[in-house]
Structure 1
Amino acid sequence: MPQLQSRSLRIHADALEYLDQTRLPQAESWERIDSLAAWQAAVKRLAIRGAPLIGLSAAFTLAHYAKAYPDADWQAASDALRATRPTAVNLMYCLDALEACFDAGADALWARALALFEEDRALCLAMAERGADLLRDGDRVLTHCNTGALATAGVGTAIGALAVAKSRGLKLHVYVDETRPLLQGGRLTAWEMADLGIDYQLICDSMAASLMAAGKVDKIMVGADRICANGDFANKVGTYMLAVLAHYHQVPFYVVAPYTTVDAACATGAEIPIEQRDGAEVRGVAGAFGEVNWAPTDAPVWNPAFDVTPAALVTGWVLDTGVFDAAAIGRGEHCP
């Protein structure tokens, strides 16, 4: 039996198992992490995804490595994990926490990883409660990418707020952006909405403008992979487009994330490193259902994994520590 379990992770004393998110919703397949390289491969192909989950899974991978190889260069191992996904600051937060325990030995790394897991559960619930406070019965909420239990150790971030609102008896209607090019909304968020019993409709990303123009969206809630000191934030590509549309149509736009996603050392969004991914993701699609290409195999592609949304387009930042405006984020009031 696992020592700890979330919707996407099973933590054993000697191993880590993850729910392969590339195979959802067609199949629930659990895979084992047995090396640093296996974790890196799973993260790069988005079998493990979601900023909090990436950080937590990296922490346990490093802790297992330290127990298995007590004489190895733990710093080099941590550096290798750190370089895998440069945008998500939660990865840096978790690895920083374990590196601080190096002098105390492998058991200290394991204990710290366990504490990070429990911390994320608590952070998720706190921010979800605050996000649910912003919702009203009958609200029509637009989401982007996937921000639920699949992406965290707990109830999730933005989807966590929807889940808590549902538990309070609020009736919501959720519009789920399919989220090109890897369809995390269509594959994962739609699956989670059905699992939670929340009324939803799946839409193509390009339909969001028409939806807002028709007055069918009351609020937008998204997650974040990194929030800068001034409130600019990086999230799955397509988020910036939604923020611009929300600003034009005067739809409240909220970012829901733990305080660990705020990078006080990153002044503005211009400093956030943006990962470029394989062009094959745009030329076609692949998954448990198979593979198909709809573009020339040599078509040049620009495929950033994330985009940056300026703080001026954000209505509020919903963190576990409170709901903040840009000025409060800049003053560091979000810190616990």
Structure 2
Amino acid sequence: MDPTIEVRALRKRYRSTVAVDGLSFTVRAGEVTGFVGPNGAGKSTTMRLILGLDTPDGGQALVNGRSYRSLRTPLTQVGAVLDASALHPGRRARDHLLWMAYSNGISKRRVSDVLEQVGLASAARRRAGSFSLGMQQRLGIAAALLGDPPVLMFDEPVNGLDPDGIVWIRNLMRSLAAEGRAVLVSSHLMGELEDTADHLIAIGRGRLIADTSVAELLATASKDRIEVTTAQRTDATTVLANAGATVTVAGPSTVVVEGLAGDQMSQLLSEARVPFSEMRRHRASLEEAYMDLTRGAIEFAAPPEDPR
């Protein structure tokens, strides 16, 4: 059986707040699956439910076909980092991993291996309280890898990492998926996921918004959008917006236009004597695609930017 995370009609309420509302999705082997959504969307609650840290009000979450709480040696089935700072400050890094290894029947040698893998071998005898956030993140990842599990879950794994560390975790997640593991990573950094994830699960207000490949999402978001370069950005925005287009500022002399064909835009700008130097199909970023997906699910939003 291939490693998977299965979420089936999952529901969770905290008093009057519905955190997860009938959520269903599958994280498959061989892929890095990005897990995204606005603040308060239910991502952290969902991950806690998968790991048995909270009890669902309905539905179920399964790891490799079983509930987390039924796993005899869970670290050999799923490794997770939900809060890298959840460490006893007085415990040495190696000792932190040793007690986890002992509880799951994992060898001491494996502790040395994962400390080496995450770049903390030289800090193995330092106390966790002296670690920077980036080092805490690496220690949390070492704990997740300890049982060599087929399923991995990371919540905001690049927090506290320097640029070198960000490249390292990106390559690590890709390599874990390439080995046939199922990898779920929650992040607010769309640029990182665009370079890392194969698949995307987007949720809002506890409900599923999208379950799609990153490539398919970007292709959909790029469709019918045209990038116009003009020295008279404000005038171009006015002309095109008055014609019914949606116009977004993309740079000092660039706007992205949706809702009009290229020949229509060219004619409108020419008639209004607004010069433009280039008009081309716009390739949407994952951040743009994400904003389109979640626009109606944001609980706390800033006022829209004036395109002029």
Q: TM-score, normalised by structure 1?
A: 0.26
Task: Find the structure with the greater CA-based Rg.
Answer: 2
Where is the strand percentage greater, Structure 1 or Structure 2?
2
